[in-house]
Structure 1
Amino acid sequence: MILISACLAGINCRYDGGSKQIVEIEKLIKEGKAVLVCPEQLGGLPTPRIPCEIRDGDGRSVLEKSAAVYNREGANLTDCFIRGAEETLKIAKLYGVEKAILKARSPSCGKDRIYDGSFQKKVTHGDGVTAALLRKHGILVLDEEDFREYI
């Protein structure tokens, strides 16, 4: 089984209430090879929601409590992001997931690159909170930009 960000399967769960549907991901679902998650919804956040970004670090530093996730209005939503990552990990373990395809640049799902916390569309190096937790537990994290070479 492959864990996949639900927004990549056409589920309207992104912060803006939309999705980023990818045809190849639909195929994985139809073949019974995928389990869908939205870590931000699993963490208790609504859809749509105010955009969020990690300040002063990345997902790993959020998990270590040295950085935090804020929405554009300044509300600290770190606990929701950590809870969503933990719930996603539980699902991954239940299904024996070894790979995940997550949404690029997301404060939850971003792999290697996330927005820098300035809400200016500036990208910095680092993982989102869920991506960092999954990697910590040995799950290969991919995103919609690179998954084709591994599937």
Structure 2
Amino acid sequence: MKKILVSACFLGHKVRYDGQHSLLEHPQMKEWQEEGRLVHFCPEIAGGLTTPRLPAEITSRHPVMVVNIQGEDVTPQFLHGAELAVDKVKESGACCALLKSRSPSCGNRETYNGEFTDTLIPESGVTASELQRHGIPVFNEREIDQLIEFIQMQETPEVIHSEEC
């Protein structure tokens, strides 16, 4: 049974920057939770940030720099949370991750541009990038069908074909 690292906010934990959650109500999520497959994790909390906290965005990619809306550098907390996410995947044996889209930590396809103007760009968040760098596939809540298919492929035994003599 494959485990999945999941953004804690999807499971109702109030860990978002605004002190809220992003509960993901999907029948497959409920089934996976009942089976004990879901490994909840919030890289921003694990990295040392509090709830609630000021919104933050990635202002530089190389090197990575994350600042909150007041201009305070929160890069160390984001990097530490990303490292801990990789550790959590390794310790739990998770095969993939389901993370919150558009988050400066968890966004796997797009994040905000770093100017606090609600403008999205096609870049991954700090944790999603680190997981992907370690070969861990990352999905977001809009890609749950692809995640389901990925898990099914991981758990389907390979069929070995042999020629008859």
* TM-score, normalisation: structure 1: 0.92
**Deviation of 1:80 (Å):** 0.3
Out of 17, 21, 24, the residue aligned to residue 23 of structure 2 is 21
Q: Which has the higher contact order (CA 8 A, sep 6+)?
A: 1
Q: Which amino acid aligns with 2:33?
A: I
Q: Which amino acid aligns with 1:141?
A: V
Aligned position for 1:52: 56
Counterpart CA distance in 1 for 2:74 and 2:147 is 33
Q: Which amino acid aligns with 1:54?
A: I
Q: Aligned pair count?
A: 144
Out of 89, 94, 114, the residue aligned to residue 91 of structure 2 is 94
Q: Which runs of 4+ in 1 moved over 6 A?
A: none
Equivalent residues in 2 for 1:11-90 (5 A)? 11-24=13-26, 25-57=29-61, 61=62, 66-90=63-87
Task: Provide structure 1 residue ranges, at least 5 long, that are not aligned to the other structure.
Answer: none
Q: Is the 8 A contact 1:9 1:26 kept in 2?
A: no
Equivalent residues in 2 for 1:83-122 (5 A)? 83-122=80-119
Counterpart CA distance in 2 for 1:67 and 1:2 is 26
* TM-score, normalisation: structure 2: 0.84
Counterpart CA distance in 2 for 1:69 and 1:28 is 33
Counting aligned pairs with the same residue, the percent is 40
Out of 5, 9, 20, the residue aligned to residue 7 of structure 2 is 5
Counterpart CA distance in 1 for 2:146 and 2:138 is 13
**Deviation of 1:47 (Å):** 0.3
Structure with higher Rg: it is 2
Moved more, 134-143 or 27-36: 27-36
Q: Which amino acid aligns with 2:6?
A: I
Q: Is the 8 A contact 1:109 1:131 kept in 2?
A: yes
**Deviation of 1:124 (Å):** 0.5
**Deviation of 1:27 (Å):** 3.1
Q: Deviations over 1:31-61 (max 9, x none)?
A: 211100000000000000000000033xxx4
